[in-house]
Amino acid sequence: MSAADYRDFYRGRRVLVTGALGFIGSNLSRALADLGAQVLAVDSLLPDYGGNLFNLAGYEDKVRINIADVRGHAMEYLVRGQDILFNLAGQVSHIDSMVDPFTDLEINCRSQLWILEAVRKSNPGVKIVYAGTRQVYGKPMRLPVDETHLLNPTDVNGINKISGEFYHLVYHSVYGIRACSLRLTNTYGPRQLIKHNRQGFIGWFIRQVRQAVRGEEIQLFGDGQQKRDFDYVDDVVDALLRAGAMEAADGEVFNLGGEAPVALIDLAKMLVEIAGRGGSYRLVPFPPERKKIDIGDFYADTTKIRAALGWRPQVPLRDGLARTIDYYREHAEHYL
């Protein structure tokens, strides 16, 4: 399937997105609508998880928004007749998962059984793309990390995300449901929650840079030399679209990753420079509860998805950050 084909694939298709009012879900839903898909955007709008009606602003007539919890029988109705299911619902806070492990289990693990059982009963022919995470690897034993690296999660969220992914793979091998998983790394861009710091540091950095006029600054834990990789959200959407359209993805797990690893201090410097207006960063000691679940350097080997789906990140970090800063400059009131 050529580059043009996988985008054409979506014209007229019925596509269900869970977590569709969240960061990645909303960017994906907009892209799908632009490609001519009939999008059913499902979100629970649970407080603090990133769901935001403004994320689909301007698309209210192009996608059908359905507020529902994926845990429950509503999904048995909602999955009917769908061609593709992008399964992005979940909560992503490491810290929250340790404070309240039962809720994390509900949202990231039990919810996936509800969705997969609904699919098995009501629409076993649907193709499912699940949003996994690099968190399942924990602290790397070798770099870059490929898909055969041992799983060694450092928090309850990582464990429950593993379960969610494994459920999809078992429903593929046992029931033949065409499911796959993309293990996302640090995704950034427009429409990310930046109200609190529990959903990844990059949204928080952007908030701090924006709030420089109020005296906020980016705080980096430790020496800031930890290397990570970053994907602009449009590149993640592109990977999701490829996985949804291509048979080569079925039953497989793929890493996503950046073009090259970047030290957090260099990310901070770049953000400060792009944002202007007096932004700054500062090194602070690791808070103990963060240190315990910190994984040091992490960057992914993306050979598998490049070979199988033809994906590679296209948006340079500096460009992506500039677009992101611009977005929040324009729409700050909906995210702060």
Other Cβ atoms within 10 Å of 263 Cβ, number:
16
Nearer to a second copy, 3 or 99 (CB): 99
Closest separation in Å from C-beta 163 to a second copy: 5
Pairing state between β 262-263 and 227-228: antiparallel
Give the residue from 324, 309, 300 showing the smallest Cα distance to 132: 300
Rounded-to-integer distance, Cα 18 and Cα 14, Å: 13
Comparison of 86 and 114: residue with beta carbon closer to a second copy: 114
Q: How far is the CB of 148 from a second copy (least distance, A)?
A: 6
Q: Return d(Cα 187, Cα 101) in angstroms, integer.
A: 24
Q: 92, 157 in Cβ contact below 8 A? A: yes
Vertex 243: Cα angle to 128 and 14 (nearest 5):
55
Q: Quick one: 163 or 197, whose CB is closer to a second copy?
A: 163
Q: Give residues in contact with a second copy (CB under 8 A).
A: 98, 101-102, 105, 109-110, 113, 117, 148, 150-151, 153-156, 158-160, 162-163, 166-167, 170, 173-174, 292-293
Name residue, tokens 């869970």.
18
Please report how close the Cβ of residue 206 comes to a second copy at its closest, in angstroms: 28
For residue 166, the minimal CB distance to a second copy (Å) is: 4
User: Closest separation between CB of residue 251 and a second copy, Å?
Assistant: 12
Widest CA span of the chain, in angstroms?
56
Least Å distance between CB 145 and a second copy?
13
Beta carbon of residue 73, minimum distance to a second copy (angstroms, whole number): 13
Report whether 308 contacts 248 (CB < 8 A): yes
Q: Which is nearer to a second copy, 153 or 257 (CB)?
A: 153
> How far is C-alpha 49 from the geometric centre of its chain's CA atoms?
12
- CB closer to a second copy out of 84 and 156: 156
CA dihedral 106, 108, 109, 114 (to 10 degrees): 80
**Nearest 5°: phi and psi at 53?**
-60, -30
CB of 159 to a second copy, least distance (A): 4
Of 55 and 112, which CB lies nearer to a second copy in the complex structure?
112
**Distance between CA 79 and CA 180 in Å, rounded?**
17
DSSP labels, 90-115: ----HHHHHH-HHHHHIIIIIHHHHH
3-state secondary structure of 202: helix
